[in-house]
DNA sequence: TTGTAGGCGTTATCAT
DNA sequence: ATGATAACGCCTACAA
């Protein structure tokens, strides 16, 4: 029961015979891993012909192409991407890094679609703890990914590591002002100003802010913009509660906000999930009418927010455009790594739900 | 400006010199792609020593290991997974296939976590149209993934293709009775019986069923189980509406259900998202009290269903356990492809929310 | 324990 | 247009 010798006739293989590279024809679908040599032998051509035949720009006669394609089909041959990668140094792999929380649920599938369109594949990394980032960076390097899209913040060290290694990196909705890293994002400040302006126009006076985690850059951007605008409009400094971007966090923040003596008439949340939590807490526990007694606004444009139970007033991020832009940008950088770093910022879209009194 | 000759001293390279494989030492962090040869040269050892040093079971003396590790660190060396794959035929890649709709949002991140624990990486495929399946199967084969986890249904042809190629496959929550494919899932029938029993016990008499798409196996399982149980309990045959597993679909189904002359007092939905849609439609448009006038139940255990706005009565699928089981099973099959195919079925957990009158 | 040498399945350069 | 052949970077007998 010796192993079956599937692919003989390699250049310097055991067979000493110099010419006549066509020993006994193969049995179809037998052993594993049919290689280009097997196809070549089966079609009676050289291995390089097979390779060319599967290469986009390869110069092969129609007749030969047909013969090879048929042989390949009969044997069930597909080129081995691994071997190709080894030679070409292009893996067609894009590493996608997402933080476990605070990511729009359909982000991944939208991204996947855009990558597919460009013939790229998605190597997925999700980050729970800081240690995971270390591992992700190490792995994606080992797999020689062509580029990285990150929806999670990365340390300076990791960013520069990627730069040194020449791996293009594009951030989605993270990390703006910092060191030259490519990014696409939503104009959080603008959106937040819209919300505040509308709320103030409608006569709200006592604001409460539900921020995200203190170290979240997105939360900072949104919250600061709101605070700034309130100050510009001459509104009293609002109470600020720091949440964790979750539903539960939103509920808790709302509770805390209404324990104080100065109860807000408008609550501005750093994301939709917390806003939903606020609404539920207001109705369920605090017995407050939304938007009659309190207005609540969020940020993101999550689909649950648009369910009629909440009808959340919020700013929708143009996910499709952002993701497309990120992929475009990444692909451009892969083609020409010398391109200048760039930021693309999209305006959100104000969604006037019924969770806030707007007039 | 000639290209810099980073790694000389390959076995049969240009250099004719037979011995003394240590030409001028390298400049750190210079060119790209530092290889094991570079490290070897830097540390003054053989390339194979470097390789062994990075291989779990490799036999290297502590002294040498230290020297090599240091050299590797200085040069920023990480083994090239691609080259390794080519030789070992193991990619440490697991293909994960999900259908675009109808997937529990945190499924991917849970899965990712479990794969990480085993040192596996996640190659992500999302399926929109039937054509995408074709592409996914082709790609994952080209990348020589070690195994496949699918949360989407696959055609018989694709399943047997994977089998022929010796790629272990585990389904999550799909495709039970069919051809010997490994799967883990939730006991839909049992859960559905629980729901029906409780509803009937509480005195509900007129049922409405909101099913999923007609070709969805999961929907069929859940719906059939509900219908069977109703029949066993002697309840009149309920109206059945076919939805699409979405929120909007749920709303529409609810509307249709209440256009009929026999208005149900209990609506059983094939998933949580549609159940939420039903609740919103009932309250918003039909002005029906939940659960006073109609009871609504779902299936899945989605977190939005548990928000107090809905407090959905449902059956929660034990996602963590299911995913862990799937990974365990897959890893076992990778280790021993001859293992018998197996199905693991977990019981769900009845969640008694307030969307249904249960007594 | 360490070094030598051959091969994994491609692509690409060169003759033909 | 086609066929030989040398890498690509690593792993693993085998020899020392």
Residue B151 within any structural domain of the chain: yes
Q: Strands A93-99, A147-151: parallel, antiparallel or unpaired by DSSP?
A: parallel
Residue B22 has pLDDT above 90, yes or no: no
Residue A57 within any structural domain of the chain: yes
Domain C-terminal end among B64, B89, B114: B89
Same domain, A341 and A248: no
The whole-chain average pLDDT of chain B stands at 88
Total domains present in chain A: 3
Report the gap between the CA of A354 and the closest CA in chain B (Å): 13
Residue B127 within any structural domain of the chain: yes
Same domain, A36 and A130: no
Same domain, B207 and B231: yes
Q: Which residues of chain B lie closer than 8 angstroms to A128, CB-CB?
A: 113
Same domain, A238 and A194: yes
**Which pLDDT does position A177 carry in this prediction?**
64
Strands of chain A, DSSP E: 93-99, 121-127, 147-151, 169-172, 182-186, 207-211, 239-242, 266-269, 295-297, 314-316, 343-346, 349-351
Q: In terms of Cα–Cα distance, which of B235, B239, B241, B211 is closest to B224?
A: B211
Residue B4 within any structural domain of the chain: no
Task: Find out whether A37 and A47 touch, Cβ atoms under 8 Å.
Answer: yes
Same domain, A102 and A134: yes
pLDDT range class, residue A29, cuts 50, 70, 90: very low
Same domain, B130 and B181: yes
The answer to whether A108 contacts B113, with C-beta atoms less than 8 Å apart, is: no
The answer to whether B142 contacts A79, with C-beta atoms less than 8 Å apart, is: yes
Q: Check which CATH number belongs to the domain holding A341 and give it.
A: 3.40.50.2300
DSSP string, B260-276: SSS--SEEEESSHHHHH
DSSP string, A284-301: HTS---TTTT-EEE-SB-
Q: Which residues of chain A lie closer than 8 angstroms to B143, CB-CB?
A: 81-82, 121
Instruction: State the Cα–Cα distance between residues B23 and B39, nearest whole angstrom.
Output: 13
Same domain, B172 and B278: no
Same domain, B224 and B301: yes
pLDDT range class, residue A49, cuts 50, 70, 90: very high
Report the gap between the CA of A237 and the closest CA in chain B (Å): 31
Tell the burial category of A205 from Cβ atoms under 10 Å away from its Cβ (0-12, 13-18, 19+): exposed
Mean pLDDT of A214-239: 95
Task: Find out whether B296 and B356 touch, Cβ atoms under 8 Å.
Answer: yes
For nucleotide C7, the protein residue with its alpha carbon nearest to C1' is B87
- Facing A309 at nearest CB: one of B80, B165, B309: B309
% of chain B beyond a pLDDT of 70:
89
Mean pLDDT of A159-178: 86
Mean pLDDT of B81-88: 92
Residue B17 within any structural domain of the chain: no
Residue B16 within any structural domain of the chain: no
Instruction: State the Cα–Cα distance between residues A326 and A184, nearest whole angstrom.
Output: 6
The answer to whether B121 contacts A143, with C-beta atoms less than 8 Å apart, is: yes
Domain C-terminal end among B46, B67, B89: B89
Domain C-terminal end among B40, B72, B89: B89
Mean pLDDT of B255-265: 93
**Cα B100–chain centre separation:** 12
Beta bridge partners of A123: A95, B123
Same domain, A262 and A313: yes
Q: Which residues of chain B lie closer than 8 angstroms to A279, CB-CB?
A: 309
Tell the burial category of A242 from Cβ atoms under 10 Å away from its Cβ (0-12, 13-18, 19+): middle
Report the gap between the CA of A199 and the closest CA in chain B (Å): 24
Residue B235 has pLDDT above 60, yes or no: yes
- Nucleic strand C under 7 Å from the C-beta of A36: yes
Q: Which residues of chain B lie closer than 8 angstroms to A138, CB-CB?
A: 78
Assign residue A20 a region (left: φ > 0; alpha: ψ between -120 and 50; beta: otherwise).
left
Residue B22 within any structural domain of the chain: no
Report the gap between the CA of B183 and the closest CA in chain A (Å): 23
Q: Check which CATH number belongs to the domain holding A76 and give it.
A: 1.10.260.40
For nucleotide C3, the protein residue with its alpha carbon nearest to C1' is B46
Same domain, B220 and B118: no
State if pTM tops 0.85: yes
Is residue A185 classed as helix, strand or coil in its secondary structure? strand
Q: Which residues of chain B lie closer than 8 angstroms to A32, CB-CB?
A: 165-166
**Which pLDDT does position A28 carry in this prediction?**
41
Task: Compute chain B's Rg from CA coordinates.
Answer: 28
pLDDT range class, residue A180, cuts 50, 70, 90: confident
Residue A11 has pLDDT above 90, yes or no: no
Same domain, B210 and B308: yes
pLDDT tens, residue by residue, A77-100: 989 999 999 999 999 999 999 987
What chain A residue is nearest to B91 in terms of C-alpha separation? Answer: A82
CB pairs under 8 A between A and B: 124
Range of the domain at A338: 90-186+319-348
**Covered bases, chain C (protein CB within 7 Å):** 1-13
Give how far Cα B80 sits from Cα of A12, A77, A94, A138, B115, Å.
Answer: 26, 25, 16, 11, 20
Instruction: State the Cα–Cα distance between residues A222 and A239, nearest whole angstrom.
Output: 15
- Which residue matches tokens 């790694």? B7
Q: Which of B31, B124, B288 to mutate to test the interface with A (most CBs of A within 10 A)?
A: B124
The answer to whether A82 contacts B86, with C-beta atoms less than 8 Å apart, is: yes
pLDDT range class, residue A260, cuts 50, 70, 90: confident
The answer to whether A78 contacts B142, with C-beta atoms less than 8 Å apart, is: yes
Same domain, A208 and A100: no
Residue A10 has pLDDT above 60, yes or no: no
Q: In terms of Cα–Cα distance, which of B115, B73, B69 is closest to B96?
A: B115
**CB within 7 A of strand C (chain A, 209-248):** none
Angle, to 10 degrees, between the axis of helix A107-117 and the axis of helix A319-335?
40
The answer to whether A100 contacts B109, with C-beta atoms less than 8 Å apart, is: yes
Residue A284 within any structural domain of the chain: yes
């Amino acid at each position: 029961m010796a192993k079956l010798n599937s692919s003989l006739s390699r250049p310097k293989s055991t067979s000493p015979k110099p010419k006549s590279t066509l020993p006994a024809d193969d049995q179809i679908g037998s052993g594993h891993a049919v290689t280009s040599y097997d196809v070549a032998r089966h079609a009676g051509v050289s291995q390089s012909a097979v390779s060319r035949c599967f290469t986009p720009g390869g110069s092969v006669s129609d007749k030969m192409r047909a013969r090879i394609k048929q042989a390949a089909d009969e044997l069930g041959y597909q080129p081995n991407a691994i071997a190709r990668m080894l030679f070409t140094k292009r893996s067609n792999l894009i590493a996608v890094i997402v933080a476990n929380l605070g990511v729009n649920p359909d982000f991944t599938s939208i991204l996947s679609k855009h990558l597919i369109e460009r013939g790229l594949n998605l190597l997925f990394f999700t980050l729970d703890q800081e240690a995971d980032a270390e591992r992700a960076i190490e792995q994606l390097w080992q797999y020689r990914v062509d580029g990285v899209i990150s929806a999670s913040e990365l340390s300076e060290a990791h960013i520069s590591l990627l730069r040194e290694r020449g791996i293009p990196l594009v951030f989605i909705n993270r990390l703006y002002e910092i060191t030259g890293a490519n990014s696409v994002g939503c104009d959080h400040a603008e959106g937040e100003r819209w919300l505040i302006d509308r709320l103030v126009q409608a006569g709200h006076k006592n604001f409460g802010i539900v921020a995200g985690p203190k170290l979240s850059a997105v939360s900072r951007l949104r919250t600061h913009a709101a605070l700034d605008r309130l100050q510009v409009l001459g509104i009293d400094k609002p109470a600020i509660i720091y949440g964790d971007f979750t539903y539960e966090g939103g509920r808790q923040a709302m509770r805390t906000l209404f324990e104080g003596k100065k109860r807000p008439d408008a609550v501005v949340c750093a994301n939709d999930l917390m806003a939903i939590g606020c609404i539920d807490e207001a109705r369920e526990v605090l017995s407050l009418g939304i938007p009659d007694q309190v207005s609540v606004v969020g940020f993101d444009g999550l689909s649950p927010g648009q369910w009629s139970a909440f009808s959340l007033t919020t700013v929708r991020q143009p996910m499709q455009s952002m993701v497309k832009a990120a992929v475009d940008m990444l692909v451009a950088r892969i083609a020409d790594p010398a391109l200048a770093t760039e930021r693309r910022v999209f305006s959100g879209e104000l969604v006037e739900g019924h969770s806030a009194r707007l007039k």
